[in-house]
A and B are shown apart, each in its own frame.
Chain A
């Protein structure tokens, strides 16, 4: 039995050892905070959502299936939470009744397994009842199919049969074993047999018998071993059955976890009063992007109040060069973009009023690392090494986000390196968003096709709006602004704008 909520026809797998390379992506896009609010400290939800976010779907059909389930879950949070709670309760109760499946004591394993199966049957019944009561209210293919599956597979007849078997195993009215003859006539191939109800006792009453003497220790031990050999297979069957059920509940919990994450996040964002929307994803070959009020979800979660969003509507672009004032919201913008792309491609909503973008073959970030003057000489080397690592992973139609990359040298060199890398990426069918203060680099693309220039807005009075608008790069950079801001009011330098960019607030 499979839940198939994440995919129409396959399981959702959470790998045991997530690769470390993704850590950089999580850090650059500040995904940790998003995951934190999705999971609300549930490790399973955390793991599943992380896996889903970091492994974007590439097929629009798959995205559609999951989007439908997410929408259903957001409309029926109570039902989804109820189902999820059953999986948690099962786990809690299992741990309580758990007595270790001893590798030495077969009879112990036997009775533990019988007890556990009883518990699982109870929990299955609870699932069935949820399905009976709430199938009507659900409308997504995924959730409806799950409910119907529970109803069909776990009908009354099934419960009766399973319960009958378990009750029978709890009885202690003798062990029936079939035996064949071994090479020197010893009994081999013991098989535990079912005692057929009626006539069983009558039939056996008059058969010849042998009774072990009360003082015969070896004989008594032999009797125990006989029983052990007979229940060996049956114990295995029982223990494996509990494994199957444990696996079933684990699978169900895993499949539901993502939707719990979505419900949690949408509640939190909703409270902060920012919009969420189901994105529209176009085919990979497309190069159009359009969005309204796209914002950095992570920044919102940090602040807990409204943040600035950006609008865009462009066609046939594959390179976005973002320039403009320092501390002007460029990095935040880049993050909001990366987050939205990942969230969209895992079937989630995105932080925007509307969002439409092509599917991308993965999102890759190359962000400038914290400055460290001492290591300046090795820094460009480190950056290029990191870039080379990313290039190893790239396939056509990947999304590459560059943030002040290769600036750890003088403008001329940095620009030339950046230019060559960027040009090569774009011509290899990558989509590139590049935040830079390297004027020479940005300007070198002025006459190219498919390039969109964006610029952090600055008002006449030097105030920043943290909005990113269309605009060509300007020769001078606004570092002076920062200088002024920091040195103007010594006490609280950042209060006037009211909104703090994430970069500053961290320092």
Chain B
């Protein structure tokens, strides 16, 4: 993985992997058609495709070998690849393939024929220097040119519309170039299975790593740090520095604010309160994704991290907006919560976001307490995002965090999530003051 962080290598391998994968699939299809005796596979067009794939295959191999030789590789895995490539490409079979493709291609590049199309009938002859009509027209009227004019050419595809017509035309052409087309026939039967199995498998497996690194690269370029975390078991302290939510970062529209995570050995539950739109959900999601990425062996956002090896991640994200189904929602919340709490262990990661929003505050507090009790017993690593301040003070394993705002202007969010006891009211007072709607301010305004 770390060798692949070299962008040069990665570019080479990405291109190679894509190309070879495509060629393998295409040849598979040709062979399938051949077996089922499909009429199409008898045609010259199919042979043409096969020749093309063979050429692209050779080109891709050549390119990979050259690139790897130039860049130089150190990792054992990569050195093995280079060795295999060398042996394969020096083999007589491969050499022959390469030679014959080249010869065919040269032959066909010299072919130029004329079609005479008249009401549904095509006749074909070799091209014999007939004059280009367009050039003659332009030459006649060029002298009136006053300046640049529009390009009226349509972007027409050069792909044939009906393969069988193109095939028929090629059969007509083959009568004028008998030898060349005979060579093509021989080539087709000889090299119908030209791809190498090992190469195909390699091109497929490398994709996983490449895709992730390609995704991470532009983020790194923006100065966002990534690291390979140290993994630990549930009893140790957890730590992540300058971490961020990768989904938000990939979105690219917002300035990314990084946050730290720190939990001592005893602390297992994070409760986040504070003003809305302050980054609470983002923080919760961040904790989840960081753990998930680490568990599949990829690099994770942040400067450095010590994360927990977990058995499962359970999430519960409430949907606040959906008012129409309020009746069923509380029930739904509880059913889901029940399912989570019964399957979670002390090695699980729980993310519970805005639960119990569809009931009265009293109810919510009561239910919240009950839920917290359960979780404390479970000792799962848990993060709870909630508007219920009460939940943040349920014991020594619970850490209270808050989303914060600028002191001068309470409408500006800092998106920093800090360790802080809950104080929902203070924020409300800030806003009120700003709008001169605090008790004193409102009194003064109403006096006038």
Contacts and interface: CB of A to CB of B under 8 A. Distances in A.
Contact of B144 (A11, A161, A244): A244
Interface string A135-157: 00000000000000000010000
Contact of B130 (A193, A216, A229): A193
A175 B158 contact: no
B136 interface: yes
Interface residues of B, number: 63
B145 A187 contact: no
B130 A196 contact: yes
A185 to B, nearest CB: 3
B152 A109 contact: yes
B147 interface: yes
Interface in A205-246: 207-212, 214, 216, 218-223, 225-230, 232-241, 243-245
A225 B121 CA distance: 14
B261 interface: no
Contact of A177 (B52, B117, B142): B117
Interface stretch (B74-82, B168-176, B195-203, B284-292): B168-176
Contacts of B115: 176-179, 187, 226
A101 interface: yes
Nearest to A162: B140
A194 B133 contact: yes
Contacts of B164: 218-219
Contact of B122 (A106, A209, A244): A209
A218 B161 contact: yes
Contacts of A237: 133-135, 137-138
A222 B149 contact: no
A187 B47 CA distance: 14
Nearest to B165: A222
Contacts of B141: 117, 162, 240-241, 244-245
Interface in A13-55: none
Contacts of A192: 132-134
Given A191-B132, A212-B165, A185 B153 contact: no
B448 interface: no
Contact of B172 (A106, A210, A228): A210
A332 B279 CA distance: 74
Interface of A: 1-2, 11, 101, 103, 106, 109, 117, 153, 161-162, 165, 169, 173-189, 191-196, 203-204, 207-212, 214, 216, 218-223, 225-230, 232-241, 243-245, 247-248, 250-251
Given A194-B131, A222-B161, A237-B137, 9 more contacts: A174-B118, A178-B127, A209-B124, A210-B165, A210-B171, A226-B117, A241-B141, A247-B149, A248-B144
A-B pairs with the 9 shortest C-beta distances?
A185-B48, A174-B118, A247-B146, A241-B141, A222-B162, A184-B48, A193-B130, A243-B149, A248-B144
25 contacts: A106-B154, A176-B115, A178-B112, A183-B48, A185-B47, A192-B133, A192-B134, A193-B114, A207-B123, A208-B172, A208-B175, A210-B121, A212-B120, A212-B121, A218-B161, A218-B165, A226-B117, A226-B122, A228-B156, A233-B153, A240-B138, A240-B149, A244-B145, A247-B145, A251-B146
